[in-house]
Chains A and B, each alone.
Chain A
Amino acid sequence: MAQVTELIHNYLRHNKKFPHVYCAGCGHGIVLGSLIRSVHNLGYSKDDVVLVAGIGCSGRMAVYVDFNTVHTTHGRALTFATGIKMANPSLKVIVVMGDGDAMSIGGNHLIHAARRNIGLTALVLNNNIYGMTGGQYSPTSPPGTISATSPFGLLERSFDIVDMAMASGANYVARGTVMQVNMLDGLIAEALENPGFNLVEILSPCHTQYGRKNKFKTVVDMYEWYKKNTVKLDRYVKMSAAEQAGLTPIGVFRKETLPGLEVRYAELREKLQEQG
């Protein structure tokens, strides 16, 4: 454990921006740890990694880690990242967003980034709630959710982030949770190495704003819930519809290796410039 902590500390701006903003039991720190291990294990230089984040609790992640970090506007992280990747394709661009960021205010940017297959990895930290603003329902809050803006239970349906990414044409689509960290390390590393647009949805609990109001007495209950109610995709697909009810599949939903837009654009440029 001590070794793990030391590894992570090497990547943190520990003299500058701590203590962090995350509540006790928040999953976001686990995601950051997982991201750091993945980057470390792949041997990327800190100088080559650009971490682009949106607004909200997930957005604050950028300030803590010693990469090139850009904390952008709400929902727009992917647009900044697209500009960075097209301007300098040699950079490893990682985008961290929350569920409100990626699926609500930035929903349009997400589907278009996937459609144009821009070469970056999007991590969507889904805690089913707007945490930083005080617990309003988000587009991934399950129907019936009790929140600051749905005090009588949510009537709307929710988005499935994986389905959305698949339908929009993402190269690589996966879902993990902060409860299954070894698996998450693997998913993030695989996404980082894959060309084109890669998306990993990460279920990350917010007990402070979501759990307390929705029948999770303690933080541990939420982690237990993830453990009991998620099932690996290969097992999930073999289940009957009745068995699947209420379960969330996790794992890799799609893995294609089509070249990213930045690669195809460079090819076009080369061809045009050869013609003179």
Chain B
Amino acid sequence: MARKKRKQQEIFALGNEAVVEGALLAGCSFFAGYPITPSTEIAEVMSARLPRIKDGVYIQMEDEIASMGAIIGASLAGRKSMTATSGPGFSLMQENLGYACMTEVPLVLVNVMRGGPSTGLPTSPAQGDVQQARWGRHGDHPIIVLSASNVQECLEMTVVAFNFAEKYRTPVILLLDEITAHTREKITIPHAEDLEILARVTPAMPPEWYVTYEDTMRGVPSLAPLGTGYRFHVTGLTHDQNGFPTSKPEEVKALMYRQFRKIDQFFYDIQLVDEVECADAEVLVIAYGCVARSAELAVSMAREQGIKAGLLKLKTLFPFPKTTVQALARQCRAVIVPEMNMGQISREVKRVNNGFTKVITNNRVDGQIITPSEIFKNISQA
């Protein structure tokens, strides 16, 4: 008997609305946040949707510090949880985000980038939070940072963000920009059954055998939801395998090294990029977020003129996709990095390129998108 083909649902949605669709598909049932432009639609739609699903919780907290605290608490209680914010709110979240890094709590934080620093340009796009996303917390730690460049990707990358958070027991930051978040276009909502949805590993052993931060081959300890009989201690202090505070150098080192190892050794799983016309490219454009759309058009304009241009669209920003960037950079005579900041990804490109190929920066920080013609001009002169 032929299986009935399921009709996929198509909707006309904002990037921010697509984030909500992705989160709910991924199993998110807890949202805490604080209103801030241009991320607020995520909270608004969540407040209407979450109470309609089983055990769903939406809560508006008193500030972004509290929002981060609440989603960490909810995640420890076994929920897939998230928050969304922008610029100043992202700065406020860093404290508790660092706690989530140290305690390895899975969660998703969507930061819709606007012009900064400080209050900056609340309704204009920017990409100035890239290095903050990587290094905003004090102390050394790994983190996963993703981006999306159109509304469909907002949905898809939110699902990926939850999967990475659960799989690697880590906070994941999804960086959007005002343009991507506020673009309205047609998207296809996939069926939940067609998606791979991951959940954190919970302990299979009896409580008395449970080692809270056990160092396994995978490097990702299992996490028991609070109240399920596995009584353990969670602390932002440097801790031993049992979760208790320690300052013994060998135990401190073991914790830090495992936290890095659990991300580093799965680099190939985490590194997500799209290659457009890269196979024979001689001039490579590396872009992410809304700028990647301009870049895609610029590359096709260049191809029409007979210039062998290609686009490498970064979906994972950190850990930086060095293997792909390195290989493609070596095949090209020039790499152009257009971005709406003073050069936050181009410095990563230069670092992994190590002087091999010419790297041309193309920066803009006036709250306006980098246009296809601007990028095309750079390609044609490269």
Interface centre among B71, B81, B235, B237 (most CB of A within 10 A): B235
* B242 with A109: CB separation less than 8 A: no
Q: Which residue of the partner chain A has the closest CB to B240?
A: A16
Q: How far is the CB of A96 from chain B (nearest CB, A)?
A: 14
Number of A-B contacts (CB under 8 A): 140
B99 proximal to A (CB < 8 A): yes
Does B334 sit at the interface, judged by CB under 8 A? no
Residue of A nearest to B68 (CB): A79
Given A91-B226, A269-B56, answer yes or no on A86-B70 (Cβ-Cβ < 8 Å): yes
Contacts of A16 in B (CB 8 A): 242, 244
Per-position contact with B for A38-77: 1 when CB-CB < 8 Å, else 0? 0000000011101010000000001100111111110010
Interface readout for A73-101 with B: 1 if CB under 8 Å, 0 if not? 10010111111111110110000000000
B231 within 8 A of A: yes
Report Cα–Cα, A67/B76, bound state, in Å.
Answer: 14
Indicate whether A7 reaches chain B with its CB closer than 8 angstroms.
no
Contacts of A87 in B (CB 8 A): 30, 57, 73-74, 77-79, 81
Q: Which of A13, A66, A72, A88 contacts B77 (CB 8 A)?
A: A88
> B234 near A69 (CB under 8 angstroms)?
yes
- B203 within 8 A of partner (CB): no
- How many chain A residues touch B (CB < 8 A): the figure is 40
Contact of A225 with B by CB under 8 A: no
Q: Judging by beta carbons under 8 Å apart, are B231 and A84 in contact?
A: no
* A268 to B57 alpha-carbon distance, docked (Å): 11
Using Cβ atoms and an 8 Å threshold, which residues of chain B touch A13?
A: 233
Interface-located stretch among B58-66, B117-125, B169-177: B58-66
- B232's nearest neighbour on chain A, judged by CB, is A68
Known contacts A79-B61, A84-B226, A87-B77; is A46 also within 8 Å of B231 by CB? Answer: yes
Interface centre among B67, B76, B81, B95 (most CB of A within 10 A): B76
The answer on a CB contact under 8 Å between A72 and B99 is yes
Q: 1/0 per residue B26-37: CB within 8 Å of A? A: 000010100000
A108: interface (CB < 8 Å) = yes
Residues of B within 8 A of A48 (CB): 227
Binary per-residue interface labels of chain B (225-247) against chain A in the complex, 1 for a CB within 8 Å, 0 otherwise: 11111011111110000101100
Contacts of B231 in A (CB 8 A): 46-47, 66-69
Least CB distance, B191 to chain A, in whole angstroms? 20
A3 contacts B by Cβ under 8 Å = no
Count of chain B residues near A, Cβ 8 A: 46
Complex Cα gap A88–B63 (Å): 22
Which residues of B lie under 8 Å from residue A52 when comparing CB positions? 73
Interface string of A242-276 (1 = CB under 8 A from B): 00000000000000000000000100110011000
Q: Are B66 and A79 in contact (CB under 8 A)?
A: yes
A112 at the interface (CB under 8 A from B): yes
* Residues of chain B lying within 8 A (CB to CB) of residue A265: 51, 57, 59
Say yes or no for B69: interface residue by CB 8 A criterion.
yes
Which positions 18-46 of chain A face chain B at CB distance < 8 Å?
46
A-B contact pairs, 29 of them (CB 8 A): A13-B233, A63-B233, A63-B244, A68-B226, A68-B232, A69-B233, A70-B73, A72-B236, A76-B65, A79-B66, A79-B96, A80-B73, A82-B61, A82-B73, A83-B81, A85-B73, A87-B81, A88-B78, A88-B225, A88-B227, A108-B63, A108-B66, A109-B62, A109-B65, A112-B61, A112-B66, A265-B59, A268-B51, A272-B52
- Apart from the given pairs A50-B227, A84-B74, A87-B74, 10 other A-B contacts in the complex at a CB distance below 8 Å: A16-B244, A73-B69, A73-B95, A76-B69, A82-B69, A86-B59, A88-B78, A88-B226, A265-B51, A269-B55
Residues of B participating in the A interface, judged by any CB pair closer than 8 Å: 30, 32, 51-52, 54-57, 59, 61-63, 65-79, 81, 95-96, 99, 225-229, 231-237, 242, 244-245
